Structure 1
Amino acid sequence: MTENMKEKIVQSVPQTGFFGHPKGLFTLFFTEFWERFSYYGMRAILIYYMYYELSQGGLGLDETTANSIFAIYGSLVYMSGIIGGWVADRLLGTSRTIFYGGIFIMLGHIVLSLPGSLTALFISMALIVIGTGLLKPNISSVVGDLYSNEDQRRDAGFSIYYMGINMGSFIAPIIVGTIGQNYNFHLGFGLAAIGMLFGLIIFLLTKKKNLGLAGTFVPNPLPQEERKKVFGTIGAVVLTAGLIGAYAIDKGYLNIERFILLVSILGIVIPVLYFIFMYRSPKTTNTERSRLIAYIPLFIAAMMFWAIQEQGSNILATYADKRTQLDFAGFKLAPALFQSLNPLFIIMFAPVFAWLWVKLGNRQPSTPKKFAIGLVFAGLSFIVMIIPAYVNGTETLVNPLWLVLSFFLVVIGELLLSPVGLSATTKLAPAAFSAQTMSLWFLTSASAQAINAQVVRFYSASTEIYYFGIIGGLSILLGFLLFALSPQIQKLMKGVN
């Protein structure tokens, strides 16, 4: 997309109307609010649905397998953003891709809402993986389209958008989690489907008036004469992979454990190939190549961060269920309620960070330094989990305030890294790969969770101290290293702050 086209898009969007930000931020804020309500509502009870006994309404998987499947599911959700970015960049544009993604997500939750077996779970997961891949990177890309690259409101706008994400994420575990755990898992999943429906309705009713031309252009359209060849190749690959997979399953060569290992490997290989492809593309300029090099350490740092943050939904969720004193201050706490802590703290502090970046203006820390500080806080969130096991051992139940502290620390890191990473990605992206580079940002989470699928196998009550200590220590060490390298990274960013 050319600079003239970007300027035309910005001019088509009403630039005020939502807390001093472009009016289109309202549409994207509430669409993503309901999408995250559906997704995190489902996630709040999914791990329990997998390992609770059949008599409790679950599927009866063992905890280690459930945690690995959960991590791989999260990895595939974000890995599929590659497909969504390609579809938006080459075929449909971001707006139409977002809508179709929401349809797939809603269908996935509907399948989960119906009583079924492990097969039904995997079908629903496949639908949600495809849908989130189509929707998630593209809706974030449209947020970037609302602002010019020089607009000082840009980082603040992403922080506000991020707050909308977390408002949906905060409410979901309280509503879906409570109903799912206390009454019926499938009823909870049904509420998640209704949430996505609300998001689709808001998007359809307000996008034309609020978004202008944002999301309507196809930045790197696939020529008509090439489409038949490309679609034929894709169909052949999908069919071949399906046949090979079916044969491998039938002969016992492919089982859950081997599939998890395969996805873990892909989680590392795919982003490497992605960087190489964009760097070597003739459509990428020399300045854009330099910015891609600068993006690599940011990508690695984000991987380390999400490897910790994403464990809040499986390892710390299991910790809440098995290791935490749930009778607290006269209340009986549901384990799923702890999933609301992360978005609650973001809702509380996102406005503070948004105000801070605007207040500091050009004096705010550079993007690499924000990432570095975020990594240190993420590491500390795991380090504090050593203390109760070290002081009282692993045989006694833990005060829930330790979990509260852990979630608080990782949120401070998240506010330093995640919205800033979204904003930096839109600014560092090569013009020909704008939506696909946003997909690359979401691959940081995919890669982290692909690694987590192997790492979570080492967690148990007896290994708590080593588990939290080693992972937390690595994050802090990487944070200090990134801080030291930040001046060199900043030079490679070629004027992007």
Structure 2
Amino acid sequence: MSSIPKTGDFLGHPKGLFLLFGTEMWERFSYYGMRAILVLYLVDLVERGGLGFTRGDALSLYGTFTMLVYLTPLIGGWLADNVLGQRKSIIIGGLLMALGQFTLGTPHEFVAGFEIEMFYAGLALLICGNGLFKPNISTMVGDLYKDGDHRRDGAFTIFYMGINLGAAIAPIVVGTIAEKVAWQYGFVAAGVGMIISVIMIYTLGNKYLGNIGVVPAAVVSKANSKSDKKEPLTKEERDRIKVIFIMSAFTIIFWAGFEQAGGLMNIFANDYTDRMIGAFEVPASWFQSVNAIFIVMFAPIIATIWVKMGPNEPTSPVKFAFGMFFLAIGFLFMIGATMQQGGDVTVKTSMSWLIFAYLFHTLGELCLSPIGLSMVSKLAPMRLASMLMGIWFLFTAMANKVAAFVGSFIGEGADSVDNAMAIFAGIAITATVSGIVLYLISGKLVDWMHGAEGNTEHTEEENLEEELEITATR
């Protein structure tokens, strides 16, 4: 059983919350900083410190990397629950990620002839470390509060802000260092962020978290278990599982479009966007901060709108449909950007196209992401909850690989602008059709939920926090 330390409060919350806030903020700084420059580093010329990949190869590798980033938490979560405990998993995972960043940041002259091998070694360390870190820290937030403590709601809002603060500042800091100084220094900067995260949880964990996250969850669960008997699934449970699989399948389309942000749209920002403001050239990686900034701005607004709608609040499938429509609108702006080029790769487009695209993609994310995991937690039978949550992340992993496959069709040379337009149009059409289908079948999906949709009574504050809490898992 977790022991909550009595170290006093800060801003009305246990000080341990702000330790977890800082730990996660610096980890997100590290990850999103690396993510912002990865594709740009891959496609840059070798003589400028890059690896000289083609766009297609770079986007394919990026997709494989992000796919594994979503797959390894399944293994890391199991290890934390059954062997290591959450705290030890976070520390080990953080050290592996820091080592991975520093491996990527090794100057090429120090590893002459083995640059590619060192690069893949760095990615492997990041993937393994992320698997241990990602699934564990968010769950520790709730353990800081006893059952019935109303402060738990506000805690996830604060934690959510830490995630997005790290995601917002990372591309600006890391991207500036990488693009203005050297790519390797950018990775080193991301590694420093990860080291800060590990130092915080290692040195302050016992003081502010007590024994929270020390004992593996399976040990606690086994001690509390009263029966090992496995009951067969009921018809209601089977219907709810069908809903999870159907909704998860649709998320492949959404995330395959949304995740163009770190790949194809990152390349578009670098190669085809006029980034000059007076005499200053905005680094392409800075655009990776736009989504996180918009989330901080609009997440409380969107969540509040849902809550204020009360009984008229759209169902989860309808919200998913809205997310698809917003994604499609975002890509209409990217189509506008390619039309401005008129097929000429030498023409630079306005930055506003990208900014508006990211705005509508963020609105789509806020219609889909905050309720997706919540939906799984409501519909999954308790004895299958972990497995079905893993299935949800499995579909997200598949989407990242699909995103890279689609983006890789941009190709090289004179046809790349026309190819980009075809990609953006194809995603917009697919998202629109998917949204329409989701809307049409939403009634049947709600029937299969058997009352799980909106069958509990909470205060407005609790409903609002449910939205923000799940968004914090981004």
Measured in 1, the distance between the counterparts of 2:70 and 2:14 equals 27
Work out whether 1:472 is the aligned partner of 2:472: no
Letter in 2 for 1:29: F
Work out whether 1:60 is the aligned partner of 2:58: no
How far does residue 492 in structure 1 lie from its aligned partner after superposition? 3.3
Work out whether 1:132 is the aligned partner of 2:130: yes
Structure 1's 358 and 156: CA in aligned 2 closer, same or farther, altered over 3 A? farther
SS state at 1:397 partner: coil
Q: TM-score, normalised by structure 2?
A: 0.81
What residue is the counterpart of 1:421 in the other structure? Answer: 372
Structure 1, residues 399-441: CA drift from partner, whole Å, max 9, x if none? 1100000011101111222233233344444434555544433
Structure 1's 222 and 209: CA in aligned 2 closer, same or farther, altered over 3 A? closer
Letter in 2 for 1:175: V
How far does residue 31 in structure 1 lie from its aligned partner after superposition? 2.0
RMSD: 3.3
What residue is the counterpart of 1:97 in the other structure? Answer: 89
Which of the residues 437, 444, 447 maps onto 1:488?
Answer: 444
How far does residue 467 in structure 1 lie from its aligned partner after superposition? 1.0
What residue is the counterpart of 2:464 in the other structure? Answer: none
* Stretch moving more, 295-304 or 138-147: 138-147
What residue is the counterpart of 1:181 in the other structure? Answer: 179
How far does residue 383 in structure 1 lie from its aligned partner after superposition? 2.2
- Provide structure 1 residue ranges, at least 5 long, that are not aligned to the other structure: 1-7, 225-280
How far does residue 147 in structure 1 lie from its aligned partner after superposition? 7.8
1:75-474 aligned within 5 A: 75-116=67-108, 117-143=115-141, 160-208=158-206, 215-216=213-214, 218-220=216-218, 282=230, 286=234, 289-360=238-309, 364-395=313-344, 396-432=347-383, 434-459=385-410, 460-474=416-430
Structure 1's 399 and 194: CA in aligned 2 closer, same or farther, altered over 3 A? same
What residue is the counterpart of 1:51 in the other structure? Answer: 43
SS state at 1:59 partner: coil
Structure 1, residues 133-187: CA drift from partner, whole Å, max 9, x if none? 1211233444566689999988876565443222111101111100111101111
Q: Is the 8 A contact 1:79 1:133 kept in 2?
A: yes
Q: TM-score, normalised by structure 1?
A: 0.77
Q: Is the 8 A contact 1:44 1:339 kept in 2?
A: yes
Structure 1's 111 and 422: CA in aligned 2 closer, same or farther, altered over 3 A? same
How far does residue 331 in structure 1 lie from its aligned partner after superposition? 3.1
SS state at 2:136 partner: helix
Q: Is the 8 A contact 2:317 2:445 kept in 1?
A: yes
How far does residue 370 in structure 1 lie from its aligned partner after superposition? 2.1
Measured in 1, the distance between the counterparts of 2:37 and 2:156 equals 28
* Stretch moving more, 479-488 or 207-216: 207-216
SS state at 1:463 partner: helix
How far does residue 96 in structure 1 lie from its aligned partner after superposition? 2.9
Letter in 2 for 1:133: G
SS state at 1:385 partner: helix
* Stretch moving more, 30-39 or 293-302: 293-302
What residue is the counterpart of 1:241 in the other structure? Answer: none
Measured in 2, the distance between the counterparts of 1:111 and 1:430 equals 42
How far does residue 324 in structure 1 lie from its aligned partner after superposition? 0.7
Measured in 2, the distance between the counterparts of 1:67 and 1:208 equals 42
Structure 1's 431 and 88: CA in aligned 2 closer, same or farther, altered over 3 A? farther
Measured in 2, the distance between the counterparts of 1:42 and 1:187 equals 11
Measured in 1, the distance between the counterparts of 2:428 and 2:41 equals 28
Structure 1's 404 and 306: CA in aligned 2 closer, same or farther, altered over 3 A? same
- Provide structure 2 residue ranges, at least 5 long, that are not aligned to the other structure: 109-114, 223-228, 411-415, 455-474
Q: Is the 8 A contact 2:32 2:170 kept in 1?
A: yes
Structure 1's 21 and 296: CA in aligned 2 closer, same or farther, altered over 3 A? farther
Q: Is the 8 A contact 1:386 1:468 kept in 2?
A: yes
Structure 1, residues 422-473: CA drift from partner, whole Å, max 9, x if none? 3334444443455554443333331111222322222231222221111111
Structure 1's 164 and 479: CA in aligned 2 closer, same or farther, altered over 3 A? farther
Structure 1, residues 370-405: CA drift from partner, whole Å, max 9, x if none? 222112111211122112323541312111100000
How far does residue 309 in structure 1 lie from its aligned partner after superposition? 1.5
Q: Is the 8 A contact 1:308 1:378 kept in 2?
A: yes
Counting matched residue pairs gives: 432
How far does residue 359 in structure 1 lie from its aligned partner after superposition? 4.4
What residue is the counterpart of 1:73 in the other structure? Answer: 65
SS state at 2:391 partner: helix
Letter in 2 for 1:309: F
Letter in 2 for 1:493: M
Structure 1's 423 and 49: CA in aligned 2 closer, same or farther, altered over 3 A? same
